[in-house]
Amino acid sequence: MLDWNKIKSKTSELYGEAGRKFRQYTPESFSKEKKFVNSLVVSMALMTMADKKADTQEIITALDLIKDIDEINDLNLTTEAIELYEFHIEELSKVVDSPTKWILMEAKLLSELGKMKAYSEYPPMIEALVAHIAQSDGHLDETEVEMQNKILNAIR
């Protein structure tokens, strides 16, 4: 069961007063670093929702990772990355009961991850983060392994 109060408290703590919005999908004009940040966030959201439910520990782990990733901090995108992560979790949560909508949302997000193929330095970092989130709740089930494989196929 989700502890929304704990999640909201952690989110508020992490993004404080800033209010700029990060765009949902990365335009081609974005720098490779911003595309990387977008891909990290999309990967974390997909991994969090792989079993079609958001676990509090997985969300907190993802939020902590966003806060600690140097590439995100260096670009001053921590607030935007957290907001984008929350957006994707909310959007994925809305479609868990509709297999067709779930597949469409998943495909759209995996397509975004495909933009990382052009940058060989980033897929290993995404792979490590995805593995960390998958195991953050102490349980790695078949759906999480399947999502890991989908993400890895998208970025390689």
Identify the structural domains of the chain with CATH numbers, from first to last. Answer: 30-155 (1.10.3680)
Residues 6+ apart with CB under 8 A from 32: 118, 119, 122
Full-model pTM: 0.76
Transcribe 33-99 into DSSP letters: HHHHHHHHHHHHHHHHTTTSS--HHHHHHHHHHHHH-HHHHHTT-HHHHHHHHHHHHHHHHHTTT-H
Q: Is 115 exposed, middle or buried (0-12, 13-18, 19+ CB in 10 A)?
A: buried
In this predicted structure, what is the pLDDT of residue 122?
86
pLDDT in tens, the chain (156 residues): 567 667 666 666 555 444 434 444 455 556 788 888 899 999 999 999 998 988 888 889 889 989 988 888 888 889 999 999 999 999 999 999 999 999 999 999 999 899 888 888 888 888 888 888 777 767 778 888 899 999 999 998
Question: What pLDDT does residue 20 have?
Answer: 39
